[in-house]
Structure 1
Amino acid sequence: MRIAVVAEQFLPHINGVTHSVVRVLEYLRAQGHEAMVIAPTYEKLGALGSVDSMDGIRVQRIASIPLAGYPDVRVASCTVARMQRILTRFQPDVVHVASPFVLGWQAIQAAKNLGLPCVSIYQTDVPGYAARYGAPVLENVLWSHVRNMHNSSTVTLAPSTASISSLHEHGVQRVRMWRRGVDTRRFNPARRDHEWRERVGGGRKLVGYVGRLAPEKQVQDLVVLDSLPDTRLVIVGSGPEKEKLRMLLPNAYFVGFLDGDELATAMASLDVFVHPGEHETFCQTIQEAMASAVPVVAVGRGGPVDLVDSSRNGWLYKPGDTEMLRDRVLDLVGDNAKRAAFSRTAYTTVQTRTWNAVCDQLMEHYAQARTVASRARRLSTTAP
C-alpha cells in the first residue's frame, strides 16, 4: 500500500504525536509499504541537518510558524488545492492524518475532494486544553472544529474508551478504537540503574513524573509529594512551566528533557510513576513505566482509566483529590512487598502491546477505510 501520513508535528520536535508517527512509519517500511510524510518546517532544520527523508521515507515540508508561548511547536498551513496536488503526485491508497487541527484539516478536505480514504487519529484533547490555558470560552468553538474534521474523515481512530465517549458526546461519528504500542525492548526493568538512583535520591525512594511541563499536565498537583518522608520527587521533561515548577517544588530533582536510552534508564530507576494530567487521551508514559516494571499512580480520568487496573498494577485517584494522590503514593513507597507485586503485574500487563501488534490492527482499519471509500465512490457514480 501507499500511505500518505500528514502530521501536525514531526521531527525534530519530539512529542507523543511525533513518537506515534515514527513508529507507524517504521512498521510500514518494515512491511514493504511505501509512505510519505507531510509535516511542518522547523527553523532548526538547517542547523540539525534537513529531515527531508527518514530512512528513505520522503518528508514534504510545509511552511510553518511557532506557536505563541510554545516556540518548539510549529503550526503549518497550506491551501487545500496545494494539498490536493501533493496527494495527487503521490497517489496514496490511504491518507493517515495524525492529530489533525490545521494542516490535518486541509489534508482531510483534500482527501475528501479526491475521493481518497482518510483515517484520522484523535490524539490531543485541544478543546480540553483551552481551559487550562485560560480560554474556556473557546472550548465549544474548538469542539465544533474537531467535529467537522472527524466527521469529514472516513473513520476516526481514538486510543481509549474515555476519548471515544467524549467524541461521541460531541457528535463525532464513525469512531473506532486504536491503542498505542510500547517499545518493550527499550523500556524494561533491566535498565534500572542503582548508581543513577543513588545520585538522584541518595537512598530514598524515587517518585517520578515524565512528560511536558505545561499547564494541561497539571504537574503543580505534585506539590503534595514534594516533602514526603524518605522519598524524592523526580521530574523528567521540559516546557513553559519549568521555572514556575522549580519554585513550587523546591525539593524535587529536575532532570530536564530525556529521550531514547537515557529516558528508559530514568524510567526504570523510579519506584513509583505518577501522572496527574486529566486531559490525556491515552498517556503513553504510563505504558512505558509499566514496561519498566514501575507501578503507576494516575488520575482517574481519560486515557489512564484503561491502562491502570487499581490495586493490581497501580492506583487511580479521584480527579482533583490531591490528598488521595498523596495517600496512594505513600501506600506504595511504604510497602515494599505490595510495590513489588504491583511492579510484576504492571510489567506483565503491557508485554503483548508491541508496536507491531497495534500496527497490524492499523492495517485492518486502513483496509476497512478503503472499502468504505470505494463503496462511496460507486454510489456517487451510479446516483441519478
Structure 2
Amino acid sequence: MRIVLIAESFLPNMNGVTHSVLKVLQHLRSQGDDALIVAPSSTDPQAPDEVEGFPVHRVPSLPLAGYTNLRVAFGWVNRIKRILSDFQPDVVHLASPFELGWRAARAAALLNLPTVAVYQTEVPSYAGRYGVPFLENWAWNRVENIHLLATRTLAPSSFAVNQLRGHGIPRIHLWRRGVDTARFSPQKRNGELRARAGAQTKKIIGYVGRLAAEKQVADLAAIADIPGTQLVIVGEGPLRGQLEQQLPNAFFTGFMGGEDLAHAVADFDLFVHPGEFETFCQTIQEAMASGVPVVATGRGGPLDLVDNSRTGWLYTPGDLAGLRNHVMDLIGDDAKRSAFAKAAHHTVQGRTWSAVCGQLTDHYQAVIVEHRSKQRQLA
C-alpha cells in the first residue's frame, strides 16, 4: 500500500500522537509498504526529514501561544492537494486531525481518496482549561466536520467511541494502542530514580506526562504530603515553573524517554494520572506493563484501562479527597499494592504494537476495498 500520514504533531516534539505515528511507520516499513509523512515545519535543527526510510514533507506552521514546542500548521488546501496528488496514495491517514488534518481531509475529498481519521486528542475540552470556553462549540464543530468527511474514524476507547457517536459521527471503529512490554517491565526497576529523588526509604508516587493545563497536574497537591511517600513528576511543559511552586516537595525529573523512562516508571510504587481529557492514556498502559498499579480519573480512556479494585482505582473527576483516599489505600497496604501490581502487569501482556498496527492496516485495506467498490458502482 501507499499511505500518506498527516501528523498534526510530529518529531522533534514527542507526545502521544507522535509516538503512535512512529509505531505505525515502523510497522509499515516492516510490511514493505510505502509512506509519506506530512507534518508541521520546525525550527529545531534536529527535526528529521526522513523517518523509518520514509520522507517527511514539512508544511508552514507557527508555534502555539504559550506552548512553543507545539506548532500549528497553516496554508491552503491546495498545498496539501498537490502533495497528495504527487504521491498518489491508496489511503490517507489523519493522525489526531484538527488544523492540518482538516485541510488534508478536504484535499483528500477533492481528489476522491479514502481517509482513515484517528481521533486521539479531545481538543474541544481543552478550551476551558486554557481559558477560552467559548471556543469549545467551535472546536467540536471542526472535529465533527473532519470525521463526517472521513471514510472511517478510529477511536481509542469506548468512552471516545460513545463521545463521537453523541456528536453524530458515523463509521466509528474501536482501535486501541499497543504497549512495548519488553521496554516497560518490572525487570527495569533499578533504584536509580529512587536514589535521585532521595526516596530510598519512601514509596514513590509517580506521574508521567506533559506539564500542561489539560493534564491537571496541580491536582496532585492533594497527595503531595502523604507521610512516607515521595511525589515524582516526569515530564516537561509550559507549566513546569508554576507547578514547581505549587508542589514544592515534589521531585521534577524533566523530560525522560527511551530506557531512562522505562527504568523510572518501574521504580514507581504507584502511578497517578489526574487528567480528565484522555482519549486513551498511553502512560497508564506503560505503568501497568512495568508492574505498577494505577489511580486515575474515572473519565475517558482510563475507564477501559483500569480495572477498578483489581489493577488500580478510578476516582470521580474533581473528587480530590477520593484521589487521596485511593492513593493512601494502596500506599498503606503492601500486600494489596503487590496484588494490584501483578494483575496490572498481567492485563497488558499481548497488547503488542505489532498486533495493534496489524489491525490498523486491516482498516486501511477495508476502506480501500470499500472505496474501489463504490467507484465501480458509479462507473
Global fold match (TM > 0.5): yes
Q: Does the residue aligned with 1:58 lie in a helix, a strand or coil?
A: strand
The alignment status of 1:185 with 2:182, answered yes or no, reads yes
Contact 2:127 2:135 (C-alpha < 8 Å) held by counterparts: yes
Residue in 2 aligned with 1:10? 10
Residue in 1 aligned with 2:30? 30
Residue in 2 aligned with 1:316? 314
Contact 2:25 2:52 (C-alpha < 8 Å) held by counterparts: no
Q: Does the residue aligned with 1:216 lie in a helix, a strand or coil?
A: helix
- Given the alignment, which residue of 76, 81, 86 partners 1:79? 76
- Given the alignment, which residue of 104, 108, 111 partners 1:111? 108
* CA RMSD after TM alignment: 1.0
The alignment status of 1:97 with 2:94, answered yes or no, reads yes
Measure the CA separation in 1 of the matches of 2:155 and 2:224: 34
Residue in 2 aligned with 1:331? 329
Measure the CA separation in 1 of the matches of 2:370 and 2:118: 17
Measure the CA separation in 1 of the matches of 2:101 and 2:290: 34
Residue in 2 aligned with 1:262? 260
**Alignment coverage as a number of residue pairs:** 378
String of CA shifts for 1:282-318, please: whole Å, max 9, x gaps. 0000000001000000000000000000111111111
Measure the CA separation in 2 of the matches of 1:259 and 1:42: 20
Deviation at 1:41, TM superposition (A): 1.1
Measure the CA separation in 1 of the matches of 2:348 and 2:264: 19
Measure the CA separation in 2 of the matches of 1:104 and 1:171: 19
Distance 1:55 1:361, change over 3 A: closer
The alignment status of 1:151 with 2:153, answered yes or no, reads no
Contact 1:154 1:372 (C-alpha < 8 Å) held by counterparts: no
Residue in 2 aligned with 1:253? 251
String of CA shifts for 1:176-225, please: whole Å, max 9, x gaps. 10001111111111110124313311310000000011111011111011
String of CA shifts for 1:48-78, please: whole Å, max 9, x gaps. 2x51111311111111110111110011123
Residue in 2 aligned with 1:303? 301
Contact 1:5 1:36 (C-alpha < 8 Å) held by counterparts: yes
The alignment status of 1:362 with 2:356, answered yes or no, reads no
Residue in 2 aligned with 1:172? 169
Deviation at 1:375, TM superposition (A): 2.9
Measure the CA separation in 2 of the matches of 1:371 and 1:78: 31
Measure the CA separation in 2 of the matches of 1:80 and 1:299: 39
Residue in 1 aligned with 2:125? 128
- Given the alignment, which residue of 329, 345, 348 partners 1:347? 345
What is the 5 A alignment of 1:53-68? 53-68=50-65
Contact 1:184 1:354 (C-alpha < 8 Å) held by counterparts: yes
Deviation at 1:362, TM superposition (A): 0.5
The alignment status of 1:214 with 2:212, answered yes or no, reads yes
Report the TM-score, using the length of structure 2 for normalisation: 0.98
- Given the alignment, which residue of 49, 52, 56 partners 2:49? 52
Measure the CA separation in 1 of the matches of 2:238 and 2:56: 28
String of CA shifts for 1:151-193, please: whole Å, max 9, x gaps. 0010110000111111111111111100011111111111101
Q: Does the residue aligned with 2:336 lie in a helix, a strand or coil?
A: helix
Measure the CA separation in 1 of the matches of 2:302 and 2:127: 20
235-244 or 297-306, larger mean C-alpha shift: 235-244
Deviation at 1:113, TM superposition (A): 1.3
Measure the CA separation in 1 of the matches of 2:334 and 2:347: 20
Q: Does the residue aligned with 1:115 lie in a helix, a strand or coil?
A: coil
Contact 1:158 1:178 (C-alpha < 8 Å) held by counterparts: yes
Name structure 1 gaps, 5 residues minimum. Answer: none
Name structure 2 gaps, 5 residues minimum. Answer: none
Deviation at 1:372, TM superposition (A): 2.2
- Given the alignment, which residue of 365, 371, 375 partners 2:373? 375
Letter aligned with residue 306 of structure 1: D
Equivalent pairs: percent with the same residue? 56
Deviation at 1:89, TM superposition (A): 1.4
Residue in 1 aligned with 2:234? 236
String of CA shifts for 1:302-338, please: whole Å, max 9, x gaps. 0000000011111111111111100111111111111
